[in-house]
Structure 1
Amino acid sequence: MIMLSSLNRLFVKLLLGFWLCSSLTIGFVGILPFLQKSHDQLPMDQGQKRLLKRTASHFIESPKLLENPKALKRLHRNRTPDGKPLRFFILNDQDVVINSQKVPRTFRQFLLLSEEFDAPMSHQFRDEMVFGPYTFISDNSEYRIYGRVADNHPRPWFFFFNDHKLLTVLIAMLLSGILCGLLAWYLGKPLRSLKLSANALAGGDLTSRVDEKTAGRRDEMGELALAFNSMAESIETMMHNQQRLMGDISHELRTPLTRLQLSLALARKKEQSTVEIERIGYEAEQLEALIAELLTLSRVTISNSENKVHLELAESLSQILDDAEFEAEQKQKKLLIDIPETISLDHYPKALSRAIENVLRNAIRYANCDISITAISQDQSVIITIKDDGPGIEEADLEEVFKPFYRPDSSRDRESGGWGLGLAITQAAIKLNNGSIKANNIKPNGLQVLIKLPEKAS
């Protein structure tokens, strides 16, 4: 068990992978010459020896033939029983070829190879075989005779690589690249899974986990995946507990608040109204509104009971768009609406309407004159754009405004009177619909909010 655990270590896998890859490549390239040598170089067989002996016997019986050019020339006109060209070369005691002025390169190479071989041998070149020597004495002089026959014996396919060194190197580099690439893919795949899960978790998807296949690995990658999933579980539980606590506290605050409002109503009924009582009543109303916002944020974030439907966007937003037009007219501002009735998507109508309403009312509140809301269908997504020509927001606050209770210190929010929950509710509602939201300033002045929603539920 300990041995298996050690072999599953990432370090061991990397070491063995690269070591085996390099060893196999170097070993294959290095062993080819030895394989070819053992295949091509063999001791001269008896048939070859008899052939050389029979040819040499003519010169032993008639030494003068060694001085006859015509007789020597005939040594190049022989053929084997199966019709293949057969040539003989005779060397004197000074290692000079006496029957040919032009010595083939392969024969010279054979002479060099035979010096390392203790006995007569044969060597298979690409298109011919050379064998010998057979030593004989003629007229008290020593001669050696060799044979050369055009013969191409079948050779193992891998000898091709030994004959083409450059191509062999290129193929070895390619194969090692493929092996290393497979190893890199094997190591990189779980890292990509971890990256996607981490990005999803950072983007607010608390349900994101590393897939089971990666978590089931028995190396450091698997341990890292399990640790990540454990961390994500803890974060999700902590966030849900925090959000639930906020909702529970809001519910609990409503009971004493209701009693306070009842007491204020009784005091007013008894004509005991004073400036102080009116102030308490105003603050109680503000507290009631704040609790309502907190409960809305809690419902959108963790306890949405609404069913998702496929509906036209214009139909879902019809009521809030009518209200927004009326509010804009009352403030002498112009609202442009461009939402085609052909655009439809899977969504939670109430949550999406609340999100759009919050952004749209903010735009109407801070616009100088013009507000617009448009929607387009693009790449299986619906993009909703809300613009106004107001003062905009500081660049550093564009991402922070979607956080609960965050109120930027800018002209746009200095006198808003809110608690910084409206855009937090909007972002929670957009995430509930698997969408995204971002804000950016437009020149020369104004703010643009982009909401991107998928047309189909994933």
Structure 2
Amino acid sequence: MSTTNPLNRLFFKLLIGFWLCSSLTIALVLILPIIMQNQDRAPLEKHLQQVLQTVAKDIQQSPDILTTNKLYKLHRQHSKQNKPLRIYLVNDDGQVINSRKVPRSLRQFLLMAEDAQQPISHQFRNELIFGPLSFSVNQQAFQVYGRVPANHPRPWFFYFSENKLLTASIAILFSGLLCGLLAWHLGKPLNSLKRSANALAQGDLSHRVDKTTASRSDEMGQLALTFNSMADSIEAMVTNQQRLMGDISHELRTPLTRLQLALALSRKKGQQSEELERIGYEALQLEALISELLTLSRVSLASHENKLMLELAESLSQVLDDAEFEAEQQGKNLHIDIPDALQLPQHPKTLSRAIENILRNAICYASSQITISAIQVGKHILITVEDDGPGLEPKELDAIFKPFYRPDDARDRQSGGWGLGLAITQAAIKLHQGSIVAENLISPAGQRQGLKLRISLPVS
């Protein structure tokens, strides 16, 4: 028994996929501020330290600055070219004593400097703040900080840190992309399995899951292999059943032929009786039934034959002529509307037999009018057969296509048949990858006034 790598299981693929998606998104969001902080924070440069030392020395030499209005103008006393240098003096209680309004950036820098426990400089968006330098005046401890307008090139990804809404949108888009790739990876084989299951349900027993899906090493691949194995078994069983029905029907013809020969000899010798007539009638019925069974078997097994591209009107010409003659003999009118330009790939004999069965039923049950028309809609040709007969009970609209099914009113008729005509028709339509649907025609008063059969056949 072959062993499967546990990491190829869908459980681990889902776990790893969602874990990576969430982990990468969270990591990018959390690491970006740390990178930004390390990028913007740096040790205090020498010339900036000299500026702070100069300020501290001036205050120590003129302590009266601390008690006069000169304290609020302290930052104006130190400038460098066109970039004014602002000085902030902080007392031992952590309060800025030379500014009535403390900028947010300075408050943030005070916390950074406290954590760093050494003089540092930090580049904000449009300014550089540096410090502190500690000194004392009259036994009071002070710290001095500097703030100067400055810009320096920053990495492009810092833009996302300063634009939280954009960063959140990109994170959502990134996680959606990863989840989308995972969903595509899992959804593609499921769609392939769905298509194969639908094809099998519609009668295409040769359809299999594609090799790409079947070669996967996870549960999807195992399911595809199991599905293909199941389809092989179903195709073999159905094919054997159809062949068995055909073989049995064919073998029944031999004793039936002998029976008909014996009846003919008896009649030739003048042996006539009611019993022999009954035997002859039942033999004819049995021969017709066997012929229908053979036709159904041949239609079901004809999928390997190549189709011919023919005009619909041409391939149905003989059937339509016969139906028109039959309708005329019964005093009914058959209206035909099939354009000569309509072409489709077809099995001519099989398709003709399917249409013939439908027309015979329509002529049989119609009151006076039967209509057959065809039109091309997109890549399909729609064939419609309508009659003005009694229609069918709603529950029988699908059942009439089952083998040996006959509506209740047909069982009382001598010409009711064996319920194989529409089964042959449906098998022929499926052979052409088409579909057939029956529906009642309803009058404005809500009464049934006929039956309509719609056939859809692909053009290519």
What's the TM-score, normalizing by structure 2?
0.91
State the distance in 2 between where 1:48 and 1:113 align.
Answer: 17
Contact 1:301–1:429 (Cα < 8 Å) also in 2: yes
Letter in 2 for 1:275: E
- CA gap 1:95/1:310 in 2 versus in 1, 3 angstroms: closer
Alignment correspondent of 2:177 = 178
Letter in 2 for 1:244: R
State the distance in 1 between where 2:171 and 2:3 align.
Answer: 32
State the distance in 2 between where 1:345 and 1:129 align.
Answer: 80
State the distance in 1 between where 2:332 and 2:174 align.
Answer: 70
- CA gap 1:353/1:148 in 2 versus in 1, 3 angstroms: same
Contact 1:355–1:425 (Cα < 8 Å) also in 2: yes
Between 1:3-12 and 1:304-313, the stretch displaced more is 304-313
| TM-fit CA distance, 1:96 | 4.8
Counterparts in 2 of 1:2-151, with a 5 A limit?
A: 5-64=5-64, 69=69, 73=73, 75-76=75-76, 78-80=78-80, 83-93=82-92, 95-138=94-137, 141-151=140-150
Alignment correspondent of 2:355 = 356
| TM-fit CA distance, 1:417 | 3.5
Letter in 1 for 2:451: L
State the distance in 2 between where 1:55 and 1:107 align.
Answer: 18
- CA gap 1:425/1:95 in 2 versus in 1, 3 angstroms: closer
| TM-fit CA distance, 1:165 | 3.0
State the distance in 2 between where 1:61 and 1:382 align.
Answer: 105
State the distance in 2 between where 1:305 and 1:41 align.
Answer: 78
Alignment correspondent of 2:295 = 296
| TM-fit CA distance, 1:412 | 4.3
Alignment correspondent of 1:370 = 369
Contact 1:297–1:424 (Cα < 8 Å) also in 2: yes
State the distance in 2 between where 1:451 and 1:104 align.
Answer: 81
| TM-fit CA distance, 1:99 | 4.0
Between 1:319-328 and 1:3-12, the stretch displaced more is 3-12
State the distance in 2 between where 1:114 and 1:156 align.
Answer: 23
- CA gap 1:269/1:219 in 2 versus in 1, 3 angstroms: same
Alignment correspondent of 1:245 = 244
| TM-fit CA distance, 1:116 | 2.6
| TM-fit CA distance, 1:271 | 0.8
Contact 1:392–1:412 (Cα < 8 Å) also in 2: no
| TM-fit CA distance, 1:430 | 1.4
Contact 1:393–1:412 (Cα < 8 Å) also in 2: no
| TM-fit CA distance, 1:370 | 0.9
Alignment correspondent of 1:447 = 451
Contact 2:362–2:370 (Cα < 8 Å) also in 1: yes
Letter in 1 for 2:9: R
Letter in 2 for 1:103: V
State the distance in 2 between where 1:197 and 1:4 align.
Answer: 25
- CA gap 1:4/1:159 in 2 versus in 1, 3 angstroms: farther
Cα deviations across residues 48-102 of structure 1 (Å, max 9, x unaligned)? 2223223333333444555564586363254447x53322223345555454444
Report the secondary structure of 2:116's partner residue: coil
Cα deviations across residues 321-355 of structure 1 (Å, max 9, x unaligned)? 11111111111111111111222222121111111
- CA gap 1:93/1:230 in 2 versus in 1, 3 angstroms: closer
Counterparts in 2 of 1:414-453, with a 5 A limit?
A: 414-415=412-413, 416-443=415-442, 444-453=448-457
- CA gap 1:92/1:352 in 2 versus in 1, 3 angstroms: closer
Aligned pair count reads 453
Between 1:296-305 and 1:221-230, the stretch displaced more is 296-305
Cα deviations across residues 242-290 of structure 1 (Å, max 9, x unaligned)? 0011111111111111111111111111111221111111111111111
Between 1:68-77 and 1:192-201, the stretch displaced more is 68-77
Letter in 2 for 1:15: L
Between 1:392-401 and 1:61-70, the stretch displaced more is 61-70
Contact 1:69–1:99 (Cα < 8 Å) also in 2: no
Percent of pairs identical after alignment?
60
Report the secondary structure of 1:209's partner residue: coil
State the distance in 2 between where 1:449 and 1:413 align.
Answer: 21
What's the TM-score, normalizing by structure 1?
0.92
- CA gap 1:421/1:150 in 2 versus in 1, 3 angstroms: same
| TM-fit CA distance, 1:173 | 2.5
Cα deviations across residues 140-171 of structure 1 (Å, max 9, x unaligned)? 55432211121223333333333333433333
Contact 2:75–2:87 (Cα < 8 Å) also in 1: yes
Report the secondary structure of 2:407's partner residue: coil
- CA gap 1:222/1:273 in 2 versus in 1, 3 angstroms: same
Cα deviations across residues 355-412 of structure 1 (Å, max 9, x unaligned)? 1011001100111111111111111211110011112222212112112222232x24
- CA gap 1:3/1:428 in 2 versus in 1, 3 angstroms: closer
Contact 1:77–1:85 (Cα < 8 Å) also in 2: no
Unaligned segments of structure 2, at least 5 residues: 443-447
| TM-fit CA distance, 1:17 | 1.0
Alignment correspondent of 2:190 = 191
Report the secondary structure of 2:115's partner residue: coil
- CA gap 1:3/1:434 in 2 versus in 1, 3 angstroms: closer
State the distance in 1 between where 2:312 and 2:101 align.
Answer: 95
2:214 pairs with 1:215: yes
Between 1:44-53 and 1:248-257, the stretch displaced more is 44-53
Contact 2:389–2:449 (Cα < 8 Å) also in 1: yes
| TM-fit CA distance, 1:223 | 0.7
State the distance in 2 between where 1:47 and 1:371 align.
Answer: 106
Cα deviations across residues 293-322 of structure 1 (Å, max 9, x unaligned)? 111111111146865222221111111111
State the distance in 2 between where 1:303 and 1:256 align.
Answer: 27
Alignment correspondent of 1:157 = 156
Report the secondary structure of 2:85's partner residue: strand
Between 1:307-316 and 1:237-246, the stretch displaced more is 307-316
Alignment correspondent of 1:270 = 269
| TM-fit CA distance, 1:3 | 9.9
Report the secondary structure of 1:272's partner residue: coil
Unaligned segments of structure 1, at least 5 residues: none
State the distance in 1 between where 2:257 and 2:304 align.
Answer: 26
